[in-house]
């Protein structure tokens, strides 16, 4: 379904939940760009020999096509020793059908698209990939190397049908972007914190049909952001999805997470901060399925893994959690519901409905709330002052907690000391739900 059709249909059904404020993606098709001009990196000195540095030929090809055309990296294996910044550019595309292997050691961003308009990065086969070989750094205790892909201050763009593997640092960052779309992607990283999957900051961004393996952010919204729609996400042995970490002057609103499947992760969804100021408002988290995760619904505004920063706390308001199913690893130790809000800025209008989860260990769940107001579980009604943590216990097995699993669920995590294989794209990213846009083949 084209975005415009999706947006109109979603708006007709539930205008308050569509969230996106307008069209997303490139203004012209890559076919149109290719017909205008094609800049094949092989014509600029690149070689698919897994040895010759792709960086200079790729930059030369971009300069030739940046005002309209398609830069093509054909099938084959390429080495990349020097990173490329694609500055500016309008009505251009990057077709990655080969596999790029990191051979350089610099930090920064291997591929950095900045100040672009009407841009598209894609694989025509669904096999185009970046292999960051991050384990070469990680096994020596280093995780401050290169990000694989960063799109910054760009508008009217899409990134799709590509695979990102084993980043030395982050895998994919969209920073201060507008009218963007990312979809049909597989991201596979090491089992270590600080190796984020997808980080989003911007306005009017649609992220869907993405699988992430790592031990940190799956798909995370950060400040400032507005009108963000995230759906059909497969956190396959990951840190899990999140909003935050939140700091001073936080401004996040009109966000929807829907159809989120989480397996063997730190959490199904976390909103995390410790101090700070600003707001997160008008957010919906619906249709979540989880199995074997440490935490499930986790609002933590006293997050111990983050140093306390100045401010009375970020105000969380009008947040709805609806239709959550599955199991939690240990419901007594880390129950399915944790809402710990800032004492000086209590949460308001938090609504938890149709949440039915059970423990895989033992025979009870605990629920914890502090300074949180709204509806459901241990939340207090209305509004008011801060209150100390309260807990409640459930010993009856909920009748509707059973939920489907995905056949690609990993049996073991990838470590940090050996190469991570390039995966194939899954046929689906949420149980029983086909990708919104057909996978490239």
Give residue-wise pLDDT tens across range 344-356: 999 999 999 999 9
Model confidence over 391-403: pLDDT tens digits? 999 999 998 999 9
* Residue 137 falls in the annotated catalytic set: no
Of 299, 196, 283, 282, the C-alpha closest to 240 is 196
pLDDT band of 207, cuts 50, 70, 90:
very high
The proportion of the chain whose per-residue pLDDT surpasses 90, expressed as a percent, equals: 95
Given a cut of 80, whether residue 7 has pLDDT beyond it is no
**What's the pTM?**
0.95
238: which 2 tokens? Answer: 């990951």
Model confidence over 142-159: pLDDT tens digits? 999 999 999 999 999 999
Given a cut of 70, whether residue 406 has pLDDT beyond it is yes
Model confidence over 99-122: pLDDT tens digits? 999 999 999 999 999 999 999 999
Annotated catalytic residue: which of 216, 282, 298, 300?
Answer: 216
Given a cut of 50, whether residue 216 has pLDDT beyond it is yes
Burial zone of 424 (CB within 10 Å; 0-12 exposed, 13-18 middle, 19+ buried): exposed
Give mean pLDDT, residues 333-347: 97
Contact 66, 94 (CB under 8 A): no
Given a cut of 70, whether residue 64 has pLDDT beyond it is yes
Question: Looking at 9-18, 300-309, 360-369, 424-433, which range is the least confident one?
Answer: 9-18
Q: Report pLDDT for 18.
A: 58
State the DSSP string of 217-255: EEEEE-SSEEEEEEEEEEEESSSEEEEEEE-TTEEEEEE
Domains along the sequence of the chain with CATH: 3-32+91-394 (2.160.20.10)
Q: Counting runs of H as helices and runs of E as strands, what totals does the chain give?
A: 4, 27
Give mean pLDDT, residues 238-245: 97
Contact 242, 271 (CB under 8 A): yes
169: which 2 tokens? Answer: 């640092």
Given a cut of 50, whether residue 208 has pLDDT beyond it is yes
Annotated catalytic residue: which of 138, 160, 208, 291?
Answer: 291
- The DSSP code for 361 is S
333: which 2 tokens? Answer: 């130790």
Of 55, 63, 56, the C-alpha closest to 39 is 63
Give mean pLDDT, residues 160-181: 98
Give the whole-angstrom CA distance, residue 305 versus residue 296. 17
Give mean pLDDT, residues 3-25: 57
Q: What Rg, from alpha-carbon coordinates, does the chain have? A: 22
Q: Report pLDDT for 19.
A: 84
Given a cut of 90, whether residue 38 has pLDDT beyond it is yes
* Residue 216 falls in the annotated catalytic set: yes
Of 327, 332, 297, the C-alpha closest to 400 is 327
């Amino acid at each position: 379904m084209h975005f415009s059709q999706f947006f109109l249909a979603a708006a007709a059904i539930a205008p308050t939940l569509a969230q996106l404020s307008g069209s997303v993606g490139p203004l012209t098709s890559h076919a149109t760009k290719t017909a205008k001009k094609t800049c094949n990196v092989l014509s600029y000195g690149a070689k698919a020999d897994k040895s010759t540095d792709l960086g200079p030929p790729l930059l030369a090809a971009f300069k030739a096509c940046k005002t309209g055309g398609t830069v093509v990296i054909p099938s084959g294996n390429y080495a990349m020793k020097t990173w490329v910044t694609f500055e500016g550019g309008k009505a251009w595309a990057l077709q990655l059908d080969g596999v790029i292997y990191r051979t350089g050691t610099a930090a920064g961003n291997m591929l950095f698209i900045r100040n672009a308009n009407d841009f598209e990065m894609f694989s025509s086969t669904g096999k185009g990939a970046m292999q960051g070989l991050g384990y070469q750094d990680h096994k020596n205790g280093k995780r401050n190397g290169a990000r694989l892909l960063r799109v910054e201050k760009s508008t009217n763009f899409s990134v799709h049908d590509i695979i990102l593997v084993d980043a030395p640092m982050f895998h994919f960052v969209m920073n201060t972007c507008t009218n963007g779309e990312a979809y049909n992607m597989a991201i596979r990283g090491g089992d270590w914190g600080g190796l984020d999957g997808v980080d989003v900051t911007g306005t009017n961004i649609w992220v869907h049909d993405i699988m992430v393996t790592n031990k940190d952010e799956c798909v995370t919204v950060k400040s400032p952001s507005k009108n963000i729609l995230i759906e059909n996400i497969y956190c396959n042995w990951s840190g899990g999805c999140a909003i935050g970490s939140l700091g001073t002057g936080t401004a996040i609103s009109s966000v929807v997470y829907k159809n989120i499947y989480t397996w063997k992760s730190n959490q199904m969804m976390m909103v995390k901060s410790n101090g700070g100021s600003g707001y997160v408002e008008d957010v919906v988290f619906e249709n979540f399925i989880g199995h074997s995760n440490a935490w499930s619904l986790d609002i933590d505004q006293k997050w111990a893994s983050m140093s306390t920063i100045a401010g009375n706390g970020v105000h969380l308001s009008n947040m709805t959690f609806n239709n959550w199913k599955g199991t939690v690893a240990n419901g007594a130790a880390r129950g399915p519901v944790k809402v710990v809000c800032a004492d000086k800025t209590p949460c308001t209008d938090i609504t938890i409905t149709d949440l039915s989860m059970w423990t895989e260990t033992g025979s009870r769940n605990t629920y914890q709330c502090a300074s949180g107001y709204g509806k459901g579980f241990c939340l207090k009604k209305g509004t008011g002052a801060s209150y100390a943590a309260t807990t409640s216990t459930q010993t009856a097995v909920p009748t509707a907690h059973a939920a489907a699993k995905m056949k690609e669920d990993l049996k073991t995590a990838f470590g940090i000391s050996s190469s991570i294989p390039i995966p194939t794209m899954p046929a689906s990213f949420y149980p029983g739900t086909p990708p919104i846009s057909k996978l490239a083949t």
